[in-house]
Amino acid sequence: MTHAGDQLFAMNLVSGMRVYDTSTRQFRSLMTFDTTTGQPVHHYICPTASETYVIKCSFGGVEDMFASNGSEGGSIYIWDRSSERLVASLLGHPPGCNNVKWNPIKQTMMASGGDDGKVILWQIETKRDSA
C-alpha cells in the first residue's frame, strides 16, 4: 500500500505483479518504464505456484539494483532489476512476510517483517561487494 493509501501492490500468477488503484478499483500491471521513450522495461513475475500474492515491493541495494518483496507464504524474493532474474529466495516469516525495506545508508542490508511478529535484518552480498 502506498503512503497515500491510493494504490495497493499485489501479484498473481496470471498477470504478474500488479497495482490495484483504490479509487478506480482497477488492477494495473507493475512495470518499470524508460522515462525517455515511455516504453515498459521490466515486469516481475512470482516464481512459484504456491505464492499467489506478493506483499510490499521495495527497490534497493547498491545503486537500487534489486527489486524485492514479501509474500503470503513467508518468502522474500529478490530480483536483479535490470535482468528481471530472480537472484534470491529467502524463507523468513511463515506464514506470511508483510514488508521488506532496504537500508538507505547500508545498502546491502534489508529488513523484513511478518505475521510471526518478528523483524529480520538481512545482509545481502553482491558480486560488486566481493570484487
Is there a domain that residue 95 lies in?
yes
The predicted structure's pLDDT at residue 29? 45
- What is the span of the domain harbouring residue 58? 7-130
Is there a domain that residue 110 lies in?
yes
- Give the 3-state secondary structure percentages of the chain, helix then strand then coil, rounded to 5: 5, 50, 45
Is there a domain that residue 41 lies in?
yes
What domain count does the chain have? 1
User: Mind listing the pLDDT tens digit for each residue in 107-125?
Assistant: 999 999 999 999 999 998 7
Kindly indicate the confidence band of residue 129, based on its pLDDT and cuts at 50, 70 and 90: very low
Helix (H, G, I), strand (E, B) or coil at 63: helix
For residue 2, pLDDT beyond 60 = no
Report the CATH number that the domain containing residue 38 is assigned in CATH.
2.130.10.10
Kindly indicate the confidence band of residue 16, based on its pLDDT and cuts at 50, 70 and 90: very low
**pTM for the complete prediction?**
0.64
Q: Which amino acid is at 128?
A: R
As given in the structure block, the three cell numbers for residue 91 are 524463507
Is there a domain that residue 1 lies in?
no
